[in-house]
Amino acid sequence: MAEIDRSLPIPIYYQFKLLIQKQIAEGKLRPGDKVPTEAELCKRYDISRTPVRHALLALVREGLLTRRAGRGTFVAPINKTQITLRITVPDTRWQWPLQEAARLWNHEHPHTKIELAFDVVPFRQLHDHLSLAVAQGKAPDISVLDSVWIVEFSLRRYLLPLEELDPDWVAKVKENLYPSVLATNSYAGHLCTIPTNADTTVLWYRRDWFASEGLHPPKTWAELLTLGHHFRQPEVQARYGLGTYPLAFVGGRAGGETTTYQLLPFLWSFGADMLKQESVVLDSPATNQALTFLKGLVHTEQLASPEVVTYHWNSAVQAFANGEVAMALGGTYENYTIRSATNWNMPTFLKHVGFVPLPAGPHGTPATLVGGMTYGLYRQSRHPAEALALLKRMLTPEILKPFSLKTGHNSAYVTVAEMIRADEDGFLRQTAPLVAQSRSRPSLPAYERASAHFQEMIEACLTGQLSCEAAARRAAERISGATGIPLA
């Protein structure tokens, strides 16, 4: 925030306070520097004395400024400007980018030290934990959150819009994000959070087995049927030690969001969708055709187990990693899981494993969905200027590139993805084009409820609780009721 913006719904004193904090964090005001007088500040920023005085008093109470009788207001000594940022993450892998950013920041700004205090909350508890923290006035300065929560958290005013702090920097960030990732992390045209990674839906297949059998990965679902029946032959199963079923995917409420992550692009590949043009369009002939095909994979073609409705989020990839199936729906983030389970290094992994977008249905095209975790800055942050400074330092190639290489996640940024060479990580190099062609999930305040009804639809169809047509109709009605979006 370079100047005071009276059009924003943020008190003038708070904007001015952030401005001074930012100048201190960036070293423009250093420990011991005298702050201009209230009259000078009023004139410089064209604001009245009351918000200036209010902001300066708040900064004195927080220890960033100190007042000396008869001399004026000064930036506090270095031992009083150490900032501790509270950060909530779902697991330790998300700590490293911020730790490295803090290390580099502290080296470059010796007069302002940033310390990080991490709170690790398991992912399944993270949404409720963050909501409760905000309700209690104890929100962290920064948290990692699932990108599907962004609209909800923005509408509830949990998140501090980044453009209110530094619109010029945000504009540059938006230019470097893949379009689908930008859409996933935005609401109403505004970038709400800072992503580091992008993961896409894929169909995993055993490249080595396909090559031995003289087969190619499927481009259509019809081709997948042919491949599935090939690997269901007893002699082929015996040759590779396969289980009964050659294909795995997560297909019910037990899989949670993974079911939606894998099977919403499955609907897209048939030309179906959940929402379109501000209407719920799930109840459609295309959806019925897709669900009928999916049910056929399980009960008619017997290419996937009826137990898919009970699979948890990692069941399909575990079956693939264990060599029980020849193909599995999953996400690019699972490459690390497969490599860990098999002890394959990257060249060996790429020799054994291949990946393609979800094949095309009769009236659709190959499809893939982008998602991932992202970093949000909270309105209740005690140190928003320093928190933003930390995120800025994190968003540099010297941190983002090693993070992708360490974790196996594709970068959310075009320039960083282009920096990764095939000899550094062949998988990331090969999957980057998938990020460019992927789509994002619907941006909805009630996304979680919509996703839950989608999962119920899949399960009801696969178990025979409802016909595919009835399951789609019920899901459409419930999603409309949960979101307030009309049926088509």
Structural domains in the chain plus CATH codes: 12-79 (1.10.10.10), 82-192+372-437 (3.40.190.10), 199-368+442-483 (3.40.190.10)
Give me the pLDDT at residue 460, please: 98
Separation between Cα atoms, residue 410 and residue 432, nearest integer Å: 7
Separation between Cα atoms, residue 389 and residue 236, nearest integer Å: 57
Please enumerate in sequence order all residues whose Cβ is within 8 A of that of 453, keeping only pairs 6 or more positions apart, or say none: 475, 478, 479, 482
pLDDT band, residue 114 (cuts 50/70/90) = very high
**Pair type for strands 275-276 and 190-191:** unpaired
Give me the pLDDT at residue 112, please: 77
% of the chain residues with pLDDT over 90: 82
> Is there a contact between 391 and 142 (Cβ–Cβ < 8 Å)?
yes
Separation between Cα atoms, residue 247 and residue 237, nearest integer Å: 12
Give me the pLDDT at residue 365, please: 94
Separation between Cα atoms, residue 312 and residue 253, nearest integer Å: 9
Nearest to residue 210, comparing CAs of 224, 195, 191? 224
Give me the pLDDT at residue 77, please: 79
Give me the pLDDT at residue 22, please: 86
Separation between Cα atoms, residue 459 and residue 359, nearest integer Å: 21
Q: Across-strand partners of 249?
A: none
- Highest-pLDDT range among 56-70, 76-90, 145-159: 145-159
Q: Across-strand partners of 413?
A: 177
Separation between Cα atoms, residue 177 and residue 174, nearest integer Å: 5
Per-residue pLDDT tens over the stretch 361-394: 988 899 999 999 999 999 999 999 999 999 999 9
Nearest to residue 212, comparing CAs of 359, 356, 332, 354? 354
pLDDT band, residue 2 (cuts 50/70/90) = low
Has this prediction a pTM greater than 0.85? no
Residue 1 has pLDDT above 50, yes or no: no
Looking at residue 152, its amino acid is E
Q: What value does the mean pLDDT take over residues 175-202?
A: 94
Q: Quick one: DSSP state of residue 379?
A: T
Separation between Cα atoms, residue 488 and residue 482, nearest integer Å: 15
Separation between Cα atoms, residue 309 and residue 288, nearest integer Å: 18
% of the chain residues with pLDDT over 70: 99
Separation between Cα atoms, residue 87 and residue 95, nearest integer Å: 9
